[in-house]
């Protein structure tokens, strides 16, 4: 395979040969009319074909869309310029048409430098970069000057023909606006080159010599052309020479690296240590990196569809590119090593997670046991007086008679219902008033077994504080235990009035058995009841004692 530098040298020699051939056709005089006419046709075709082929190579080599657009636009204007020149020189004898074609030269002459400035500004920017809006102002002078040149016959502000009857490009003078046009033709290329050089980050500034020489030579050529020193033969054919200089300037910028291109695959691959290669359409290697690799064709075809694994640590990637394929290998060994470490760490974390879950579950069980123990301890401590009473009754009555069992039954019902209220108090601050109803109803059932007529009614179904329920039930039990042996009828009513909870009791006594008011007051005198805003009323009506307890909200 031919090295890149020899390919470039070969192509440059071919281009130089055709340029010299075209110039010889321009400067050698042919006596034969046929030969001269043939040379006049072939010469522009050589230049146009050369510019066209160079344009196609630009489209292939320049990968930044905005820069590629501006350079290809410049080449299109160059081709347009060459066509105008050919038409003017060969196909038209009419002076007006030839003059209009001559004026039209200034369309590419004005817009090529402007497009060059734009592509210089775009260099180094991303494809999504939008140029500042103020740059659009640069189009205005170009369009104005272009219109002035095209309408020169009207005002002669660019070229003047004096009193000549026939206006031709052979007899004219430059006017003020021509030098304005010339100024823009010089200043834009200078600005373009300075911008490119400023944006260049290349450490070797020697490679900038060729673009500078080409640019300065073009400027000197334009000055000589304007001054028209001695009608030198070398300044003739200005269109061709300016186009060639433009091609040299842009191509030198590409080769020096000022304009990024994809020409440097060989250097890139020689310096790259990543296993990578570029194949042609027959799957033959065109470029290869230092890290040489061999992959069978069948694996490459599979990798083009989707990446495949040769083994655990090697992944083959491939993708189609222009006129071939790109193939590279990914070394997954480091990633797999990390994955192995992560899997080990994952296993360790899973084990720790299982242990933590077991510890948490153990703590939960322990907490539940402790909570249950606290509840049991509280229930036991809260019911110690009642249990002590039951124990005294059993100790003082060796033979358990019916009356003793009835009293134990009343105390047992109270202890049972109170334990239930204590359990409810751990999860609830407020409970349904039905719970108080259940407590009193069960106690009334036990009291009725002591030959006491009992009547219980409830007129509420609200949510009330459980602390109020416990205190009211305690007072109810105190009244029952202290006066059980003396009353014959017992009526109880629960109701709510003005959002306050009431417990009303009526005890009916046989005459002579009515307890003293001081005794009842002593029974009802409860500190917890008072602290919670509880009040009571005590009334005697004949042989009836009316007790009304109220928990104020």
Task: Convert 50-72 into a string of H (helix), E (strand) and C (coil).
Answer: HHHHHHHHHHHHCCCHHHHHHHH
Mark residue 512 as left, alpha or beta (left: phi above 0; alpha: psi -120 to 50; beta: remaining): left
In the 8-state DSSP scheme, what is residue 514? P
pLDDT digits (tens, 9 = 90+) for 203-239: 555 556 777 777 778 777 777 776 764 455 555 677 8
Q: Tell me the sheet residues that pair with 465.
A: 430
Which one, of 148, 66, 79, 42, lies nearest residue 115 by Cα? 66
Task: Convert 159-201 into a string of H (helix), E (strand) and C (coil).
Answer: EECCCCCCCCCCCCEECHHHHHHHHHHHHHHHHHHHHHHHHCC
β pairing state of 487-497 and 453-458: parallel
d(CA 97, CA 309): 69
pLDDT value at residue 75: 92
Alpha helices by DSSP H, listed for 323-332, are none
Q: Which residues of the chain have pLDDT under 70?
A: 1-5, 27, 29-33, 90-93, 123-127, 129, 164-166, 169, 199-208, 226, 228-236, 263-269, 271, 292, 398-401, 511-513, 516
The CB density around residue 359, as the number of other CB atoms within 10 Å, is 10
Task: Provide the CA 520 distance to its chain's centre, in angstroms.
Answer: 79
Directed axis angle between helix 95-104 and helix 139-150, to 10°?
A: 170
d(CA 502, CA 363): 44
pTM: 0.54
Taking every pair of C-alpha atoms in the chain, what is the biggest distance, in angstroms?
A: 168
Which one, of 314, 239, 251, 241, lies nearest residue 88 by Cα? 239
Contacts by residues 180-187 (CB-CB < 8 Å, ≥ 24 positions apart): 180/145, 181/106, 181/109, 181/110, 181/145, 181/149, 182/222, 182/226, 184/110, 184/113, 184/114, 184/141, 184/142, 184/145, 185/109, 185/110, 185/113, 185/222, 186/219, 186/222
In the 8-state DSSP scheme, what is residue 322? T
Helix or strand holding residue 424 (H, E) = helix 402-425
pLDDT value at residue 264: 66
d(CA 413, CA 394): 17
Distances (CA, A) of 459 to 434, 442, 489, 535: 10, 17, 21, 20
């Amino acid at each position: 395979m031919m090295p890149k530098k020899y390919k470039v040298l070969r192509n440059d020699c071919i281009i130089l040969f055709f340029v010299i051939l075209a110039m010889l056709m321009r400067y050698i005089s042919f006596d034969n009319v046929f030969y001269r006419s043939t040379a006049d046709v072939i010469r522009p075709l050589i230049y146009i074909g050369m510019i066209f082929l160079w344009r196609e190579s630009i489209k292939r080599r320049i990968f930044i869309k905005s820069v590629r657009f501006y350079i290809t636009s410049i080449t299109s204007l160059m081709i347009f310029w060459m066509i105008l020149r050919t038409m003017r020189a060969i196909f038209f004898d009419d002076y007006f048409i030839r003059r209009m074609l001559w004026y039209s030269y200034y369309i590419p002459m004005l817009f090529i430098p402007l497009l060059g400035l734009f592509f210089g500004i775009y260099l180094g920017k991303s494809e999504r970069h939008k140029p500042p809006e103020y740059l659009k102002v640069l189009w205005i002078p170009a369009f104005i000057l272009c219109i002035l040149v095209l309408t020169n016959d009207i005002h002669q502000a660019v070229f003047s023909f004096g009193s000549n009857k026939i206006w031709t490009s052979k007899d004219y003078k430059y006017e003020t606006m021509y030098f304005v046009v010339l100024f823009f033709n010089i200043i834009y290329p200078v600005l373009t080159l300075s911008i490119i050089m400023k944006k260049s980050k290349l450490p070797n500034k020697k490679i900038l010599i060729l673009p500078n020489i080409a640019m300065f030579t073009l400027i000197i050529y334009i000055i000589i052309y304007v001054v028209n020193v001695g009608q030198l033969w070398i300044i003739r054919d200005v269109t061709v020479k300016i186009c060639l200089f433009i091609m040299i300037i842009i191509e030198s910028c590409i080769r020096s690296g000022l304009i990024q291109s994809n020409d440097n695959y060989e250097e890139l691959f020689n310096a790259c240590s990543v296993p990578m290669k570029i194949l042609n359409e027959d799957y033959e290697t065109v470029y290869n990196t230092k890290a040489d690799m061999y992959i069978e064709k069948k694996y490459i075809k599979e990798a083009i569809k989707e990446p495949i694994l040769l083994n655990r640590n090697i992944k083959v990637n491939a993708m189609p590119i222009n006129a071939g394929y790109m193939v590279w290998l990914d070394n997954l060994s480091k990633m797999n090593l990390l994955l192995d470490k992560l899997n080990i760490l994952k296993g360790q974390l899973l084990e720790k997670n299982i242990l933590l879950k077991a510890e948490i579950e153990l703590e939960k069980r322990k907490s539940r046991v402790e909570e249950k123990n606290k509840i049991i301890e509280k229930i036991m401590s809260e019911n110690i007086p009642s249990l002590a009473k039951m124990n005294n009754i059993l100790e003082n009555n060796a033979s358990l008679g019916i009356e003793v069992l009835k009293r134990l039954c009343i105390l047992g019902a109270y202890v049972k219902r109170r334990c239930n209220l204590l359990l409810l108090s751990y999860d609830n601050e407020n409970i349904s008033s039905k719970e108080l109803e259940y407590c009193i109803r069960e106690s009334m059932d036990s009291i009725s077994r002591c030959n006491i007529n009992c009547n219980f009614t409830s007129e509420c179904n609200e949510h009330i504080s459980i602390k109020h329920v416990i205190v009211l039930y305690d007072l109810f039990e105190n009244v029952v235990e202290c006066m059980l042996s003396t009353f014959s009828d017992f009526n109880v009513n629960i109701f709510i009035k003005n959002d306050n909870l009431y417990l009303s009791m009526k005890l009916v006594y046989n005459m002579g058995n009515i307890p003293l008011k001081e005794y009842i007051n002593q029974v009802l005198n409860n500190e917890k009841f008072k602290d919670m805003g509880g009040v009571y009323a005590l009334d005697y009506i004949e042989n009836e004692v009316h007790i009304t307890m109220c928990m104020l909200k």
